[in-house]
Structure 1
Amino acid sequence: MSNLFNVDRLIAEFDVGLRTLLAKAHSQRPYPDAQTPEVSLSEEEKKHISALMRINHTGEVCAQALYSGQSLTARDAATSSTMQQAAREETEHLAWCENRIHALGGRTSVLNPLFYAGSFAIGAIAGALGDKWSLGFLEETENQVGEHLASHLKQLPEHDEKTRKIIEQMQSDEAKHAHNAKMHGAASLPAPIKYCMKQMSKVMTTSTYHL
């Protein structure tokens, strides 16, 4: 029965992956920028903002994969539920980023399948190490994503309130995910692991800005 359950879960997570990479994401909550009027942006500004949002979109793809992998191997039902809730909100972030990218005339990254596969594997390994470490990965991931979002806010043109609204709401959600992970018993990751995560993140942000 346990093996059947695992196979069912694996199939379910595979379906999540296909939908993340191939289907249009949807948001249950209102889009953060829905009530904010568009402003005139130069072509150079549009290109830069679109590239920043492409990075954010790929970051959400990675987070979705990470949490799906962790949920698959999590030992405790409450931990698995925490991962699934975070993944659902990351799906909304995907929708917000994708919508903004297209509005700016940009595109999502061609590297998304590669980063999804790698993040899913990391998530599954983290989950297998035990729930406190899995939650530790979640907390550190969200903290690092929050840092990236903060840096992107500083790079936005002051008059681009639409993109700012999206990133600020994402930032708030990521902080909540990190807090929830900590409250559920997340272990603090060793410094070398945090360093490796930062280096992997740099590879993602540098490559997806252009690709």
Structure 2
Amino acid sequence: MPSISRSTPMRCAATSKRPGCRRSACRAPRRTGSITCGGRTSAANCPTTAARCSPGGAALGEAPDVVFVVADGLSAFAAAKQALPLLSAVRPKLEGWRIGPVVVARQARVALGDEIGELLGARLVAMLIGERPGLSSPDSLGVYLTYAPKVGCHDAQRNCVSNVRPEGLPYDAAAHKLHYLLTHARRLGLTGVGLKDDSDALLPAARTEAERLAAE
């Protein structure tokens, strides 16, 4: 059974015991814990099992406004490459927010973020997960937002920011979208079909650059 590791808020988007891991680059976490969940075998046999985890080690103090989960999904390469730059870009925009520990999940699905958010008592969860690799985009990251996350949330209750990578949606533009959606989700008390993403109109330069890169 794979485990999910937690680190001090926004200090590390990923941890690894592999040779060559640059711990100094992401700052070693001061506090860790684990949550056990189903893996890829579970996902193949019973998808709902792979999206569940046990509550061991999940207790925190004050409930956070948002918890960020970094997951391999369908592309561990994308999560390893894009998650930390995106978190670094969005963090300065969230002054005044109570940010929970960054959770690193292996062999995870999007729905796992909802249960992690519920276990940690978060108002919002942002699931940063590797998207299905394509011929021209093997390193694309998706971000799924859920307000009041809990087991059983469905796709219509989430917002998605997709194709996060320098050659797709650049980090600054993705951070702008993410901040916009988080802010309005907290204000309105919802995510999903009821939350319209009008962030592009507020950042035309970033949108134009993203479109130019996508067309090349």
Structure 2 length as normaliser, TM-score? 0.27
Which structure has the highest strand share of the two? 2
Which structure has the highest helix share of the two? 1
Structure 1 length as normaliser, TM-score? 0.27
Which is bigger in relative contact order (C-alpha 8 A, separation at least 6)?
1
